Amino acid sequence: MEVVLIFPRVSAHVLQHLAAGGLHEIAHLFVGANTRASLEPYIGAQAGKMPDEEFLNRLSIAGGGPGEELLVRYVHVQWGSLTLPAPGDRMGPCSLYLLRFRKVTSGPFGEAVHMPDPVPHPRDAGLDVLEELVAELLVRMESDGVGALEAFCSEHPEKQAALRERVGALEKLGLLEFKGGSAGSGESVPERIGPYLIRKELGRGGQGVVYLAEEEALSRPVALKVFTPGRLASREARVRFRREAEAASRLDHPNVCAVYGFGEDEGLLYMAMRYVEGETLGDWLAGLRSRAGPVRGKDRGSDSGSSGTTNAEISQALVLVEKIARALHAAHELGLIHRDVKPGNIMLTSEGEPVILDFGLARDETSDDTVLTQTGAIVGTPAYMSPEQVAGRDSLDRRTDVYALGVILYECLTLERPFHAPDVAALYRVILATDPVDPRRLNPRLSRDATVVIAKALDKDPVRRYPTALALAEELRRLLNFEPIQARPASILLRLRRWGQRRPMLAATTVGLFLSLSVGLVGSLVLLDRIHSAWQRAEGLRLAARSTALVDDQPDLALLLALEGAELQPGRVANEALLAALVACRQERILQGPGGSLEQVSLDRVGKRALARSVEGLVRVWDLSSGDVLSEGVEELLMGAVVATLFPDGESVALGHVDGSLSIVDLTKGLVQEVEGFAPFSHLLAHPDGTRLLAIFGDGSAQWLDRSGQRLGSLRPPGNKVLGVDISRDGSQLALALEGGAVEIRDGVTGSELALLRGGNGDAVACAFDPTGRRLVVSSVTADPESADVRWDDALRVWDPSSAELLMERQIDYEHFSTVAFAENGTVLGGDFSGALRLISADSGEELLRLTGHQDSIRSVQFLPGGIRAVTGSRDDTLRLWNLGPQPEVTIFRGHEKGVSPARFDPSGTSLVTVAEDGTCRVWDVATGRERLRLDSCAGVIAFPATFSPDGSLVAYSCQDGSVHINDAKSGRLVYTIGVHTAAIFGLQFDPGGGFLACGSLDGTGSIIDLATGEVCHVLEGHTGPLHNMRYDSAGERLVSASEDGSARLWNADTGENLAVLEGHPGKVFDARFSPRGDLILTACEDGCARLFRTEASEVQREAQWVTPIQKGPLWRAAFSPDGESFACISLKFSVVNLFSTRDATLIASMEGHESGLVDLAFSPDGRYLATASLDRTARIWEVSDGSPWLTCRGHSNIVLTVDFSKDGRHMVSASADGTARMWPVDPHAAAQRRRPRELTAAERERFGLETERP
């Protein structure tokens, strides 16, 4: 066991036993196993006569009279354990040294052996000052590297020599490990080490030097770590090094720096590793801090003034730490524990992939040779060390690395480390005894779930941490996908217990007081808890109500308030407020403008970047995907603009100023070109190819300018004022909307007039070409002079610009469109003076969609490529990104002309199949809501059940005439048409293996189709009435059928043999299903009873368990929960869902809420939720655990016929007689988090009382 003893001064009591000379060499001499023999030359003959305890005590004495500093390092073999003073027991200025050198210190601080009190001695004030300066210098060098030495010496010139001498002595002993290399060495770089050619030095530290080298045989670059002589001096240390290097070389993971090889060359141990180019995670964090500026993390794009990382940076950090965690888990599974995970040991490649370094020094847990483990050696970087590392425990496991990941996660999300202290000794005390600041105080953007994950990763008790790095990675994945996390906040009792451990005296006093006042205190706590719970419920319901009231006019704000309410009071009310806001809110992102009223918006070619100009002449450029401001470094150059445009490449901005000057600003390099001498600008547009600029001036004239601002030629002489302008996508046409109502169409090259469009007597204020250039939309404004109050009689017209033919005209009875845009799908988007955005058909003029959110008039609108998304700029100083297509969480699948039943997800959840009374079967893309395949083999007759094969490759559906059609689910190719039945098929199911298809028909027979041949291999006969379904068991070995003849039957799926008749039903059997394990069959009967039959192989227990109905009436459907522990029943006649225990058929819950009978039901894959379809035109989702309502899905205009969950349980789909299917989020809170367009501003939080103190 290796021990370090550090003395600030050596007392006379010790000096009399030590030789006066060579004190500084003791550290080098006391390394042998025979420690007592090594001491004898310095202690004298008395050493052999002293008792062991006295001998150790004399070595442990600190303080005393004047003397030299003494650093003693020795290997303790024969004498028991020796423990150093606890961090709080100050031994003079040297205590900082003691803790700093703890990497070679054995045993936990402050345990076991009592240290004698220091011998009193006179203080040397001068030496104390020097010691304090050295302590400060060491901390400075640890954070800033060896460069801090020169700066510090210049600050203290009178102590310069002493400081350099002290640092040199410490470095000579191998106890300094700072970034930036040696404090005083100037060693030359060797040409070769082993088989590696040395190219340059990459860095050095306490462990050694890292070189960029080339492996000569393979001509590949490597990072070659050469260890400092003496650090691995003993035979045991070298054996340990080789063992650990071999263990690291077994690790093959893309996010771990691979170890290529290791060896020894002329006494130098080296290790060759993959050379990773890029920056460290520490450098990345430093960049975030520098961009955040003095006010850490000031919001770049909102007025919330919050701190920490932005939403995009939060997502990026979560992704990075998740990948790091998965890489660590791969190492842990091989028995490797890193023990020094920190940002400096993680590289980020040019592609942004993290790579963990220094696994070559990890500990191999798979080794059984504990002698080779350097027990008691504390390895790690202080700020990232776990409490068990700080305490010096020998047994460290993978949870130590999990803790370090928690520190990194905290730092990435807040730009602050969780623990701070003025020196290392204090830092250890903080790590052991205090909790970090709540991350949400440093970065309010963080969700509560994120803080819970961080807290669990940083738990001081390893048992309460995530047990594996994989568990942490999965939790981070859930955060990224807005799924519920598994961690839970620490309970009040646990927090009290930990407080008591940190403050034992105060805790003991408090406990005594508590016991004396226990009855009253318990009552008060219960009352306070009730008050707090009641406040939470009331506040949550209040915010949900405010959200509902705002959903029509400000859906983005409604969504944010509903999220706040759901945090306080989750449940049905919160979920329905969230769902309503999700349906109404089509705003994907809301970006705060540069200040003032936004007047103009411009996009790059691909729709990734957007520019906005305000009336006040301020310009800002954003990345639309992340919301980051791209113009931060050049915004001073973007001021004073009356017009502005973004070049199609998105790299440069052109600005026209009031004085007639033109500026071209590169967003990265700054000002590129400035040209003067123009007339005042009114419009400025970049040509689609990016080579030219179209400049419109206040006198109505127009010119082409090259990219540098030089005039290329006149396009239009002075004339009527131009109010709106657009360039066709191919650049061949220009449209100029003029004061007076006319629109000029000009040649895009020569400027010659091609057509003049006249419509109305007012002003043409905006115009836009469609992507083909074959249609042009014009917004006109006409003032009615006969009205006492001036009112707008506005019109929207669509023209053929080549023939001047008017294609569509629509009079607008609301505020006129100040801006318009034309999409690829033939729709027109207009923004009006009220702040509303309207989507209108260019063919019919029908209004398709009205969107609200802006609080002032919309002044500019642009479609992104594809026509599904658009961006708007408003005088409310916000730029908003809108989704005009199907919404990702609440999608409506439209296209069928008649009722839809059913709608079913494919196994991957990416496709949906529907069949309808219009005779078609359709396959939809879930992500876009678009129809992907239309299958109409039913030739106009009603289509019935449809389903996907287990692998999703086939889709099967049936027609009213009894035929079955099987198609390829990707191409739509018809694979088989089978006409075995003479009446409609109600039951249709693939076997679990996907090789067969079972059908149950109203003609009273069933059939099994072999999908390899398309032939019917078995006809199932025996029923005397129509079949309502046909279902396989989980093994695919048996089938059960339900019939109106009052029976259910069990069949052998391989042979078609009727195994048993499930009798005892006094009426029609409408449903029959196997339990998940296949040991039970559940039937739903016309008499209102559900019956359970126990099956064993081919036999059925004749005595059926039966359930007395809560209400009289026929049962229509019954279904088992996924675990088989319960089942639910519904009736067409009644609105209640009953949930029963499978074990004894007792009633668990009755779910009430529907207003009419129920048609279908389905359990979610995890069994947590139950969905129901009703005649009341709604679908509902219930919590199975207590039967409480979870979500009501409203929107269908006719009865809902079926419900189904996606395989991942995130979505539920309902099919209705109104001809649509609708997809709903099962967890609206998670969906709303994914769709959150922005954060609440400080003013909004104050307005809605979100800053008031909670009881």
Q: Tell me which residues are annotated as active site.
A: 340
- Residue type, position 809, single letter: E
Strand order in the sheet with 743-747: 722-727, 733-738, 743-747, 753-757
Under DSSP, the state recorded for 371 is G
Environment class of 1196 (CB within 10 Å of its CB; exposed 0-12, middle 13-18, buried 19+): buried
Pairing of strands 892-893, 1221-1225: antiparallel
Q: Give CA–CA dist 306/698, Å, rounded.
A: 42
- Orientation angle between helical segments 1228-1235 and 555-568, nearest 10 degrees: 130
Tell me 89's DSSP state.
S
Q: What is the spatial distance between Cα 962 and Cα 981, in angstroms, rounded to a whole number?
A: 5
Name the phi and psi angles at 39, rounded to 5. Answer: -80, -25
Q: What are the C-alpha distances in Å from 640 to residues 360, 611, 616, 652, 1159?
A: 58, 15, 7, 17, 65
Q: What are phi and psi of 456, to 5 degrees?
A: -70, -40
Tell me how crowded residue 1200 is: count the other CB atoms within 10 A of its CB. Answer: 31
Could you give the CA distance from residue 1 to residue 112 in angstroms, rounded to a whole number? 15
Q: Which two tokens stand for residue 344?
A: 């400096």
How far apart are the C-alpha atoms of 417 and 344, rounded to whole Å?
14
Place of tokens 């100040």: 818
Residue with token string 């690790």: 251
Token pair, residue 657, equals 């100023």
d(Cα 400, Cα 379) in Å, to the nearest integer? 11
**Helix, strand, or coil (residue 472):** helix
Residue 567: name the closest of 404, 450, 663 by CA: 450
Calpha distance 709→693 (Å, rounded): 8
Contact 42, 26 (CB under 8 A): yes
Residues 210, 204: contact at Cβ < 8 Å? yes
- Report the C-alpha dihedral over residues 1094, 1097, 1099, 1104, rounded to 10 degrees: 0
- Angle in degrees, 0-180, between the axes of helices 518-550 and 555-568, rounded to the nearest 10: 160
What region does 720 belong to: left with phi over 0, alpha with psi -120 to 50, or beta?
A: beta
Distance CA 994, CA 829 (A): 47
Dihedral sign computed on CA atoms, order 708, 712, 715, 719: positive
Distance (Å, whole) CA 719 – CA 1027: 80
- Closest among 520, 476, 195 to 320, alpha carbons compared: 476
Burial zone of 691 (CB within 10 Å; 0-12 exposed, 13-18 middle, 19+ buried)? middle
User: Which of 942, 963, 962, 946 has its CA nearest to residue 954?
Assistant: 946
Cα(823)–Cα(1068) distance, integer angstroms: 55
Burial 1110-1141 (b: 16+ CB within 10 A, else e): eeeebbbbbbbbeebebbbbbbbbbbbbbbbe
Secondary structure (3-state) at 636? helix
φ/ψ of residue 932, rounded to 5:
-100, -35
Token pair 């109505």: residue: 700
Please provide residue 519's backbone torsions phi and psi, each rounded to the nearest 5 degrees.
-65, -50
